[in-house]
Structure 1
Amino acid sequence: MPVLWRRILIFLLASIPLVFIIYKTLTNQLGADPAKTIVLFTGEWAIYFLFITLAVTPLRRLIHVGRVHFRWLQVHRRMLGLFALFYALLHVTAFLVFILGLDFTRFGKELVERPYILVTIPAVILLIVLGITSTKAMMRRLGKSWSRLHKSIYLIAILAWLHVFMQVRSSYFEAVILGSILLWLLGIRVYWYFQKPK
């Protein structure tokens, strides 16, 4: 499949969660607390796309059976990362609009009541920086610093998982599953790093 058509397909697939939540909103199917549903939904998809982006390199390097391989995904990693940023910004916007009601005087109180916000702020800021610097022009301008900067996606992923973990009130199932996936995504990179010839 040509690169352009793959880009269109990935874009359409990545837009499905947005279409889904808009449909649920317009048809009043968001449950007893629509605001909370939207905030949680967009946050979950931000993490999913973050992990999908991190999974591109392991898939490319590890899975190659006959003609089935994932090298083609490398070209689309930036788009996947931008969708992580997109859903993260929707998540933050939904929180500010539906939970805070754009009343920023309540922000200090919210930090006390919801300490997991503290790990969200640097994660979102870093995601924005990575989004801004994801173009080829910025890659040329930053040179070797670009690679070091974009390794902060590992820190972003850890902060995103902490954001989930700190919200757990009863079942840790989802947090453990996400933590296990993250441990593998980062652990395989640590293994590869120490396997490099010195």
Structure 2
Amino acid sequence: MLAYWRLLIHLGCAMPFGWLGYGILTENAYIFGSDPVKEIEHFLGYTALIIFFVMFGLGILLQLLGKNHYQILRRPLGLWAFAWAGLHIGCYLWLDLGLDITLFSHEITRRPYLLMGFLAFVILSIMALTSLPRLKQKLGKYWGRVHQLAYVALVLAVIHYYQSVKSISFGAVVMTSGVMIIIFWKYAYPYFIRLISRLTS
């Protein structure tokens, strides 16, 4: 059953490639608008962010259903989020900056939202690297602590998105609400339940 769900996750996370490829091959103005480069960059980043949210949402759902043995399915979601984020930043480096690393360094120090996005990608890179079985084994009990940084990456990524759209859009409101729910579930909900239990016992 795990193999079946893992296959569905891979297929679902790869599906945006079809939409992207169709838009590029047909030069569809409806998909990419008047600024194709910018729209492609946004599409790649938005896809990474959605998959990242799905990873957290799946974790919460599995806890609610008592199916924690399926938590391993979050790993491919995290790796796909990293892959799409890598394409996002790679596209920006290539199409906007001409692979000029010096210019990139200047841009991330001059524009806070770029710095936020870059830091989120660095954390995703660390998580992807430490998900390798050998490194996971070497880290031992520290592996879980390292992967707590995923919550920091999520917050940074949403700030990056919010500042990049430069407006209070529906997507920004939904993602901000999603972050608040995820952070509450992780850090406040367990204490809230214990408090209710003590008050009612």
TM-score, scaled to structure 2: 0.86
Q: How big is the shift at 1:35?
A: 0.6
Match runs of 1:34-49 below 5 Å: 34-49=36-51
User: Does residue 122 of the first structure (1) align with residue 119 of the second (2)?
Assistant: yes
Distance in 1 of aligned mates of 2:188 and 2:72: 24
User: Does residue 186 of the first structure (1) align with residue 183 of the second (2)?
Assistant: yes
Q: How big is the shift at 1:170?
A: 3.5
* Paired letter, 2:51: F
**Comparing both structures, which one devotes a greater share of its residues to helix?**
2
Q: How big is the shift at 1:74?
A: 1.5
- 1:50 maps to 52
Change (3 A) 1:138 1:103: closer
Equivalent position SS for 2:27: coil
Distance in 2 of aligned mates of 1:112 and 1:147: 31
- 1:146 maps to 143
Unpaired stretches in structure 2, ≥5 consecutive residues: 196-201
Distance in 2 of aligned mates of 1:148 and 1:71: 19
Equivalent position SS for 1:48: helix
* Paired letter, 2:150: I
User: Does residue 6 of the first structure (1) align with residue 5 of the second (2)?
Assistant: yes
Q: How big is the shift at 1:5?
A: 2.5
- 1:165 maps to 162
Match runs of 1:6-85 below 5 Å: 6-29=5-28, 30-62=32-64, 64=65, 71=68, 73-85=70-82
Greater Cα shift, 142-151 or 70-79 = 70-79
TM-superposition CA deviations, 1:124-165 (whole Å, max 9, x none):
111111001113332221111000000000000000011012
Distance in 1 of aligned mates of 2:136 and 2:194: 24
Matched residue pairs, number? 191
Which segments of structure 1 move beyond 4 Å, counting only runs of 4 or more? 69-73
* Paired letter, 1:104: I
Q: How big is the shift at 1:174?
A: 1.8
TM-superposition CA deviations, 1:46-103 (whole Å, max 9, x none):
11111111112210122x4xxxx76564231100000110100000001001111223
Unpaired stretches in structure 1, ≥5 consecutive residues: none
The answer to whether the Cα contact below 8 Å between 1:85 and 1:127 also exists between their aligned partners in 2 is yes
Change (3 A) 1:168 1:37: closer
Distance in 2 of aligned mates of 1:92 and 1:107: 10
Of residues 97, 100, 103 in structure 1, which corresponds to 2:100?
103
TM-superposition CA deviations, 1:150-189 (whole Å, max 9, x none):
0000000000011012223334332111000110011111
